[in-house]
Structure 1
Amino acid sequence: MRVAVVGGSGKTGRAVRHALATRGVRSVSIGRAEWPNLAAASADADAAYLIAPNMHPDEPRYVADALAAMTTAGVTRVVYHSVASPFAPQMPHHIGKARSEDLVRRSGLDWTILQPGAYLQNFDLTADLEVPYDVEARFGFADLTEVAEAAAVVLTEHGHLGATYELASRVATPAELAAEAGRRARKVEAPEGHPWLEAMFDYYDRYGLLVGTRPLSMLLGR
């Protein structure tokens, strides 16, 4: 089996390729350099793992182009890396993923969709934790290594066609994560800049982002 990992040079893509390698599965990383010739780059692949660049300004177009290239290349199986709670109208980049999920489901390919929560690895707990939202907000956090293992499972094992899985390793608040590391957590002012980030931080501040933990446990056999 050979898997094309679109976005394979990023942290998620590298983790997925490593998880596939531990199962003896060959993969090829498809990045920006290969994008103009995506169909040719993925021509020998049996399946694809599709990751869009973070905060892509038009993820549905990116995903549509990738799906078209996969179809041209003869790839029949795709796993799309989405996000937990994609239909959250206050967060434009989540809506982009919701629309992309719809494209995946109507692509004609055999598909599975993964919806991971925020990565635990996004936090640096070697110092006190500072985040631009309520430190007592509850989240379903995902361990990147476990998400990658789940990706390898659904790519290589039967029974996952047409499935959409929320992925979280644990439910916690930023304050709880900091306390476990012997650190403090506090809310700081959100940096000005990208309006989508500002919208995301405002959403987190109000609602957190809860994600169920059972699907990941099931996929990993725990």
Structure 2
Amino acid sequence: MILITGANGQTGRAIIKALLSKGEKIRAFVYKTEQIQEIKALGEMEVIAGDMMDQKVVDEAFIGVNAVYHICSALNPLEVEIGKMMIKAAQSAKVEHFVFHSVLHSVLQDMPHHQKKLMVEAVLVDSGIPYTIIQPAVIMQNIFESWKSLTEKGVFQQKFFTKETRMNMVDLDEVAEAAAIILTTPGHTGVTYELCGPENLSLSDMVAAMEQHFGHEIKVQTTEDEVLEAQLKKFGVGEYKVNSLLKMFKHYNEHGFVGNPNVLTWILGRKPSDFSSFILRAIQSKIS
């Protein structure tokens, strides 16, 4: 039995699909009871609902589990506390493999969510549990946040980087495929894996790929920090998440966020998808 925490997010769903395709028995840990039927639509699995800060629920989720893929909700101010709770439950349940979904270059400490993920990594390494730490680059599927604007107006809304900086992006489906391999085949414990796509892209590189497949000019629209902050707070986003996002964008704009595809290539047994092919598949899937 493999436990997936944070199961109802886009990463959790992708990993569940990849594991189900291998015929694995899954237990999904979601936050709200109304999410149970949503997640069960993906396939046959057990589902448990509750707060990851509730030790009783967490301990229940780990009963009979031999492996776990732990995903904390994005930019969670309690990520360290949740991580410690999960690791404690895994120790009690004698889990054989704990996979932690971290972030590429968690060592970069000017971004608060990197700080927290690095702290969880340290606790996990010292826990005595056979572990794997997954550090994915920026997920290509984040483009979908601007998809409506792209398709209807030809406008790419983003804040990630300037024309000079470069970003590594990776297909979430391939991260999930790699995660399924790591969870179901031996030889992947005691290691940290950086999972990156094959390119470090400039903004102009991304726009060129989109223009090629959309068949028209793509304009870039960047939201100012003050406007973005106001928009996020209007939608009830907390202070920690707002500040973390702004610091993340600042770092990306100043330094970029580059990576190397060799590890993912080795795990998958093939070269990871490039950004252009991802955009083409996305357009085709939306049309069909």
TM-score by length of 1: 0.94
Separation in 1, partners of 2:196, 2:174 = 9
Q: Which amino acid aligns with 1:28?
A: R
1:143-158 mapped onto 2 (5 Å cutoff): 143-158=171-186
Hey, what does 1:11 align to over in structure 2?
10
Paired with 1:48 and 1:178, the residues of 2 have a C-alpha distance of 38
Q: Specify which of 64, 69, 75 is matched with residue 44 of structure 1.
A: 64
2:94 paired with 1:91? no
- 1:78 aligns to what? 98
Return the letter of the residue paired with 2:268.
L
One-letter code of the match for 1:72? Answer: S
Greater CA drift, 42-51 or 121-130: 121-130
**Identity of paired residues, percent?**
32
CA contact (8 A) 1:135 1:185 kept: no
Deviations 1:53-95 (A, max 9, x none): 1001031111000111122223221000000010112101111
Task: Name structure 1 gaps, 5 residues minimum.
Answer: none
Q: How far does residue 186 in structure 1 lie from its aligned partner after superposition?
A: 4.6
- Asked whether the 8 Å contact 1:79–1:113 carries over to 2, the reply is yes
Q: Distance in 2 between matches of 1:42 and 1:135?
A: 46
Give how far 1:170 is off: 2.8
The aligned amino acid for 2:220 is A
Displacement of 1:14: 0.6
- Taking the aligned partners of 2:65 and 2:135, their CA distance within structure 1 comes to 23
Superposition TM-score, scaled by structure 2 size: 0.73
User: Could you tell me how far apart the structure 1 residues matched to 2:253 and 2:198 are?
Assistant: 19
Q: Number of paired residues?
A: 221
Give the equivalent residue in structure 1 for 2:262.
214
Superposed CA RMSD in Å reads: 1.5
More helix by percentage? 2
The whole-number CA distance in structure 2 between the counterparts of 1:113 and 1:53 is: 16
Aligned ranges for residues 1-222 of structure 1 at < 5 Å? 2-32=1-31, 33-34=49-50, 35=52, 36=54, 37-123=57-143, 124=147, 125-126=150-151, 127-132=154-159, 133-171=161-199, 172-182=201-211, 183-190=218-225, 191-192=228-229, 194-222=242-270
For 1:147, give the aligned amino acid: V
The one-letter amino acid paired with 1:204 is Y
- Structure 2: tracts of 5 or more residues without a match: 32-48, 212-217, 234-241, 271-288
Letter in 1 for 2:129: L
Residue identity opposite 1:155 in structure 2:
L
Instruction: Work out the CA distance in 2 between the residues paired with 1:175 and 1:26.
Output: 43
Instruction: State the AA in 2 paired with 1:43.
Output: I
* CA shift for structure 1 position 196: 1.0
Structure 1 residue 25 displacement after superposition:
0.9
